[in-house]
């Protein structure tokens, strides 16, 4: 009996040892497969998307007479005050005839001058010289007649020339910036027309060009949020470019805030844009990014489980100085914590990504 009992105890001992080894192996497997995350310093851009109404210091130039027009400036070209913008011809038929006569006279003068150079007779040279003077006088008369038929339109101010306009130039002016309504921003649409008037007949008072005077434009948006303040620096995403901007003014209109941004005309496409959906970056945050799935609340304190690199166990560490939070992440102000000596998570800390009752209470191993 004693021998049988001894064998039973030996078997039980072996089973216990085997179970313990199996448990340790299981724990190690679990510990080795626990998802962790090394905390890094990252940057997040806080932005809002809104429909923006573009307002510029611009005006339309109209023809002061009827006639055939010839543009003397290219679309997008920057001109100075007094530079020629276009020429309007009163009588295109006689003008064309005179041009052809001038071309013929130029050829005749050129031939006579060559003949003069090759002539060895003084009398012959004298006669040729008289012919040259006569031809030049005829050319001068034709040029004078042409100039009488041409009216040159020059730039009243310096600015950028555009061959598109939308009819809002006299409606959305700089004077209107402080009195915009929600309706102004919500209802307006892009409606730019291309001025295709080169070498065509135009009537008096027809639009021939649009001039943008300033190097700056203004963008007005509506927002329900109080995320902007006067003189705040922002970045406005225009297609693939980020344009620097500044909050010029904020005022209330109904249930919304009207926010006016001032931007430099770095992107020439904005010259021909009245409204557009813009992404406006209003803040950049640098800090430690902590996923929400790694956060638990213990004794009314939000925190994470940080792996102790020596013991391989985890410690609960409260999150302090939270500077931003959304549905997925929390950003910790790492630089402020370092400066003020606040004890919380640190850069390069390794945390449990999805804490539970098991992984919080075992050693985390790495084979």
- Going from the C-alpha of 203 to that of each of 68, 71, 149, 226, the distances in angstroms are 9, 15, 16, 51
Between residues 62 and 240, the one the model is more confident about: 62
- CB atoms closer than 10 angstroms to residue 291: 15
Residue in the block written with tokens 């166990």: 313
| 118-161 pLDDT, tens digit each | 887 776 777 788 888 878 888 887 776 666 677 788 899 999 99
The token pair at 257 is 């805030």
pLDDT, average across residues 303-311: 86
Q: Which of 210, 276, 287 is nearest to 243 (CA)?
A: 276
pLDDT for the residue 150:
77
Predicted confidence (pLDDT) at residue 14 exceeds the cutoff of 80: no
Average pLDDT over the chain reads 84
Between residues 97 and 341, the one the model is more confident about: 341
Predicted confidence (pLDDT) at residue 44 exceeds the cutoff of 50: yes
DSSP per residue, 327-358: SSEEEE-HHHHHHHT--S--TT-EEESS--TT
Ranges 55-59, 63-67, 270-274: which has the least confidence = 63-67
Residue 162, Cα to own-chain centre: how many angstroms? 20
All structural domains of the chain with their residue ranges: 2-40+287-352, 91-148
Residue ranges in the chain assigned as alpha helix (H):
2-32, 92-118, 122-148, 182-187, 334-340
First to last CA, the chain: 47
The contacts of residue 111 (CB under 8 Å, 6+ apart) are none
Predicted confidence (pLDDT) at residue 51 exceeds the cutoff of 80: yes
| 234-257 pLDDT, tens digit each | 999 987 788 999 999 999 998 899
DSSP per residue, 119-174: ---HHHHHHHHHHHHHHHHHHHHHHHHHHHTEEEEE-SS-EEEESEE-S-TTTS-G
User: Is 280 within 8 Å of 41 (Cβ atoms)?
Assistant: no
| 317-359 pLDDT, tens digit each | 999 999 999 999 999 999 999 999 999 999 999 888 888 765 5
Q: Which of 284, 221, 241 is nearest to 46 (CA)?
A: 284
Residue ranges in 227-354 assigned as alpha helix (H):
334-340
| 255-285 pLDDT, tens digit each | 899 999 999 877 777 889 999 999 999 999 9
pLDDT for the residue 161:
94
Phi, psi angle pair for 156, to nearest 5°:
-70, -30
Predicted confidence (pLDDT) at residue 96 exceeds the cutoff of 50: yes
Q: Which of 203, 264, 260 is nearest to 238 (CA)?
A: 264
- How sure is the predictor about 212, in pLDDT bands with cuts at 50, 70 and 90? very high
The token pair at 118 is 């090759």
Phi, psi angle pair for 359, to nearest 5°:
-70, -15
Pairing of strands 67-71, 329-332: unpaired
Phi, psi angle pair for 30, to nearest 5°:
-60, -45
- Going from the C-alpha of 344 to that of each of 55, 288, 324, the distances in angstroms are 48, 11, 16
pLDDT for the residue 362:
56
Q: CB-side exposure of 304: number of CA atoms within 13 Å?
A: 29
The token pair at 196 is 């295709």
Predicted confidence (pLDDT) at residue 104 exceeds the cutoff of 50: yes
The token pair at 363 is 């050693």
pLDDT for the residue 145:
63
Residue 321: left (phi > 0), alpha (psi -120 to 50), or beta?
left
The reported pTM is: 0.70
pLDDT for the residue 252:
92
CA-based diameter of the chain, in Å? 160
Predicted confidence (pLDDT) at residue 367 exceeds the cutoff of 50: no
| Cα separation, 13 vs 297, whole angstroms | 42
What CATH architecture is 2-40+287-352? Beta Barrel (2.40)
Predicted confidence (pLDDT) at residue 218 exceeds the cutoff of 70: yes
- Residue 105 per-residue DSSP state: H
User: Is 352 within 8 Å of 294 (Cβ atoms)?
Assistant: yes
Angle between helices 92-118 and 122-148 (to 10 degrees): 160
């Amino acid at each position: 009996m004693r021998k049988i009992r001894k064998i039973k105890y030996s078997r039980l001992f072996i089973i216990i040892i085997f179970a313990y080894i199996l448990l340790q192996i299981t724990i190690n497997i679990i510990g080795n497969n626990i998802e962790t995350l090394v905390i890094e310093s990252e940057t997040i851009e806080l932005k809002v998307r809104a429909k923006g109404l573009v307002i510029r210091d611009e005006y339309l130039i109209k023809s002061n007479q009827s006639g055939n027009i010839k543009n003397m400036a290219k679309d997008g070209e920057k001109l100075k005050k007094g530079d020629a913008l276009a020429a309007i011809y009163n009588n295109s038929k006689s003008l064309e005839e005179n041009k052809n006569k001038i071309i013929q006279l130029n050829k005749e003068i050129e031939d006579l001058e060559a003949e003069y150079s090759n002539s060895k007779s003084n009398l012959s040279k004298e006669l040729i010289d008289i012919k040259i003077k006569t031809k030049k006088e005829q050319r001068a008369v034709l040029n004078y007649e042409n100039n009488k038929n041409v009216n040159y339109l020059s730039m009243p101010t310096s600015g950028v020339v555009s061959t598109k306009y939308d009819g809002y130039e006299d409606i959305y002016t700089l004077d209107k910036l402080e009195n915009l309504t929600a309706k102004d921003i919500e209802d307006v649409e892009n409606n730019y027309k291309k001025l295709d008037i080169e070498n065509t007949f135009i009537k008096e008072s027809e639009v021939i060009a649009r001039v943008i005077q300033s190097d700056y434009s203004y963008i007005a948006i509506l927002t329900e949020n109080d995320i902007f303040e006067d003189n705040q620096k922002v970045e406005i995403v225009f297609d693939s470019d980020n344009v620097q901007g500044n909050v010029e003014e904020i005022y209330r209109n109904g249930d919304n805030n009207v926010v006016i941004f001032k931007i430099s005309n770095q992107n020439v496409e904005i010259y021909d844009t009245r409204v557009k959906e813009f992404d406006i970056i209003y803040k950049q945050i640098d800090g430690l990014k902590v996923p929400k799935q790694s956060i638990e609340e213990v004794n009314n304190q939000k925190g994470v489980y940080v792996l102790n690199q020596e013991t391989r166990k985890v410690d609960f560490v409260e999150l302090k100085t939270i500077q931003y939070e959304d549905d997925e992440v929390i950003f910790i102000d790492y630089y402020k914590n370092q400066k003020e000596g606040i004890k919380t998570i640190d850069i390069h800390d390794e945390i449990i990504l999805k804490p539970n009752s098991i992984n919080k209470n075992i050693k985390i191993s790495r084979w």
